[in-house]
Structure 1
Amino acid sequence: MKLDNLKLFVQTLKTGSITGAANELGIAKSSLSRHLTELESEFNIRLLNRRPRNLTATEAGQLLFDQVAPLMEGLNEVSHFMEHWREQPRGALTMLLPLEFFNEDMGQLTVEFMEAYKDIQLTITHYAGPLPDNSREFDLSFVLHDRPLPPSDLIARSLMSLPQGIYGSAHCGDTGTITELAQLSAASVILQPGERDWQFRSEGGAISIPVSGRLTMSSEQMRLVAAIRGQGLVKLPRYLAEQQVKLGTLCPLQTSLPLEAQTVSVVYPGRTMPRKSRALLEFIQDNIGRLHSRL
């Protein structure tokens, strides 16, 4: 007995005509009639009363319909369940984040993601400084940068930009002595690891100004504190320094050209992203407006 024939038989009786059932099923009327005839041949009994204007079940056909229709409904539910199960992201995921990256917001997003995707196991690791060499071992890695990422076989996607500014202690007058960009080279600057210059945006492209200083820190929060305490000028995202400017503990340096914005990018291995990685990235992208609300 062919299961397809039973499905077509049930649908035909539900519709009430071979023409209507064929239209709903998207098959030719002649093909549907052939399947129904084949089913009657298998049982060696007439199942349908075929009349010009309507179609009804014989006594045997009604008995078969009553037995088979609930089973077909159950099979449809099983099919839908298995399709949903197949499409549902599952498995282990690893994500690499900068040490200070909207930790409160990202923590909230992570919890909501885990509540939405019950079959995901997520491990989050943090790093300080430049993107580590082992980032290719993670499904998704987020990086903050204000210049192009170095060549890599990893795929990179920009998510958002964060305007930056230069700040100094309000009590030391650091910002008042700088009137030209070139003067930054002689100023004491609080550096990030590996930092040798600051990038400014001009119509002709990026302009690099060499910078140097005695103090190097990976943490933006620690650089902020050091600047407040008069350890030198610091480059920070505006959202991070804004509150201290309002409090009067930091002063912004007005420059003739703006700093290059800090870009938030995600990098991942391979051009074909697994369903579980895509689900996490899309979830973050859909909710990244929460980060914008703080800027």
Structure 2
Amino acid sequence: MINPKLIALLPDLASFILVVNEGSFTAAAKQLGVTPSALSKLITRLEKALSVKLFERTTRTLIITQAGQLVYDQSVVMINAAQQAVELSTSDHTEPAGSITVAAPEAFLNSVLQPFVVPFLNQYPEIQLKLRAVDGDIDILRQGIDIAFRLTDKPDESLVLKELGKTNLVLCASPDYLDAKGIPHHPTELSEHDCLYLAETDKDHIWDFLKDDEFYTVPVSGRYAVNHSQMRLKGVKEGLGVGIFHDFVIQDALAEGSVVQVLEDWTIKSNYHGAIAMQFAQTKYMPARLRVFIDYAMEHLGDKLAGEIN
């Protein structure tokens, strides 16, 4: 038997989930069409009803508590199931509609997904698309993500996997830079070159190279580091040094001759190589909006990646 008190809490739980997903009362309140103050009072009411503290609040931050995370993990499954039930009842006689949240690494988002957005939204005018640049680990359930694109040889086995292709890393520099500094013929020679790297972690300036049974770990350095692929590419084009890029990022620059590949016989090892994987949660009833996005991506992105990378 369903507890009547639970039914009364469902709207507040849905609002709580939105606050967690958006990361602030202000952003969630805007989505709900209420004031942040009203939403804060609603969460306080929910905390009293559940007898737990859901958030640690300061003037600048909103941090979910351990108890709040447990409530979120249980509630989001229920709310998602309710949303799927509503969508299932209308999917046979309406256009696909609603919001889709998609996460992808910054480089993939800019180089591959961005050109895909306009034609997809033009074909499905009732769908709203939210793109998030996420270069680290992705937890679809906890981060409120519908579909995640990952560049990995170790996809999440708990999720459905659709493989769009393979990606490799390419080492390159501008012709002017190579004329001035010389062409590296072995990975160890990179220690004598200016190199552009991510600078996201302490290990980003350590590059690993593999060829047959040879393996080299090379610490590199340079005057410019940035965790944005297009900015890093611009720096390489303008002669600031040697950089590593995914093939789908660099292929146009290689074709036009503004950059030249070096050490092409070596494989660059990284956490971001292998399959280009589209992943999403397993569900018995797939909402129409997600189904059309997945089908569209498989058709258009799969063909694009196969043509460009090959």
Please indicate the TM-score interval, normalised by the length of the shorter structure. Answer: 0.5 to 0.7
In structure 1, what residue type is equivalent to 2:242? L
Per-residue CA distance 1:162-201 (angstroms, 9 max, x = gap): 3432111211227734222233355432112232444545
Percent of aligned pairs with the same residue? 12
**Would the aligned equivalents of 1:185 and 1:209 in 2 still touch at CA under 8 Å?**
no
Distance 1:155 1:175 in 2: 47
**Would the aligned equivalents of 2:187 and 2:216 in 1 still touch at CA under 8 Å?**
no
**Would the aligned equivalents of 1:143 and 1:264 in 2 still touch at CA under 8 Å?**
yes
TM-score (norm. length: structure 2): 0.53
**Would the aligned equivalents of 1:136 and 1:154 in 2 still touch at CA under 8 Å?**
no
**Would the aligned equivalents of 1:158 and 1:264 in 2 still touch at CA under 8 Å?**
yes
| Deviation (angstroms), 1:253 | 0.4
Change (3 A) 1:275 1:202: farther
Change (3 A) 1:272 1:259: farther
| Deviation (angstroms), 1:234 | 0.6
Match for 1:220 among 229, 233, 240? 229
Distance 1:158 1:201 in 2: 25
Match for 1:274 among 264, 283, 286? 286
| Deviation (angstroms), 1:281 | 1.0
In structure 2, what residue type is equivalent to 1:222? M
| Deviation (angstroms), 1:111 | 2.0
Change (3 A) 1:230 1:123: same
Change (3 A) 1:139 1:128: closer
Once superposed, what is the RMSD of the aligned Cα atoms?
3.7
In structure 1, what residue type is equivalent to 2:235? A
User: Hey, what does 2:121 align to over in structure 1?
Assistant: 111
User: Hey, what does 2:56 align to over in structure 1?
Assistant: none
**Which structure has the larger Rg over C-alpha atoms?**
1
Distance 2:170 2:234 in 1: 15
Match for 1:184 among 178, 187, 190? 190
Distance 1:285 1:177 in 2: 39
Per-residue CA distance 1:31-89 (angstroms, 9 max, x = gap): xxxxxxxxxxxxxxxxxxxxxxxxxxxxxxxxxxxxxxxxxxxxxxxxxxx89727975
5+ long unaligned stretches in structure 2: 1-88
Counterparts of 1:206-217 in structure 2 under 5 Å? 207=215, 209-214=217-222, 215-217=224-226
SS at match of 1:161: strand
Distance 1:243 1:263 in 2: 21
Distance 1:175 1:241 in 2: 21
Counterparts of 1:1-295 in structure 2 under 5 Å? 85=92, 90-99=97-106, 100-115=110-125, 118=126, 121-127=127-133, 129-131=135-137, 136-145=143-152, 148=154, 154-173=159-178, 176-192=182-198, 193-194=200-201, 195-200=204-209, 202=211, 207=215, 209-214=217-222, 215-259=224-268, 263-270=275-282, 274-276=286-288, 277-288=290-301, 289-295=303-309
| Deviation (angstroms), 1:95 | 1.7
Following superposition, which runs of at least 4 residues in structure 1 exceed 6 angstroms of deviation?
Answer: none
SS at match of 1:126: strand
TM-score (norm. length: structure 1): 0.55
Distance 2:161 2:92 in 1: 30
5+ long unaligned stretches in structure 1: 1-81
SS at match of 1:213: coil
User: Hey, what does 1:39 align to over in structure 2?
Assistant: none
| Deviation (angstroms), 1:224 | 0.9
Aligned length: 207
User: Hey, what does 2:16 align to over in structure 1?
Assistant: none
SS at match of 2:135: coil
Change (3 A) 1:83 1:141: closer
**Would the aligned equivalents of 1:171 and 1:249 in 2 still touch at CA under 8 Å?**
no
Distance 2:255 2:146 in 1: 39
**Would the aligned equivalents of 2:103 and 2:134 in 1 still touch at CA under 8 Å?**
no
Distance 2:189 2:177 in 1: 17
Change (3 A) 1:181 1:284: same
| Deviation (angstroms), 1:112 | 4.7
**Would the aligned equivalents of 1:169 and 1:228 in 2 still touch at CA under 8 Å?**
yes
User: Hey, what does 2:81 align to over in structure 1?
Assistant: none
SS at match of 1:218: coil
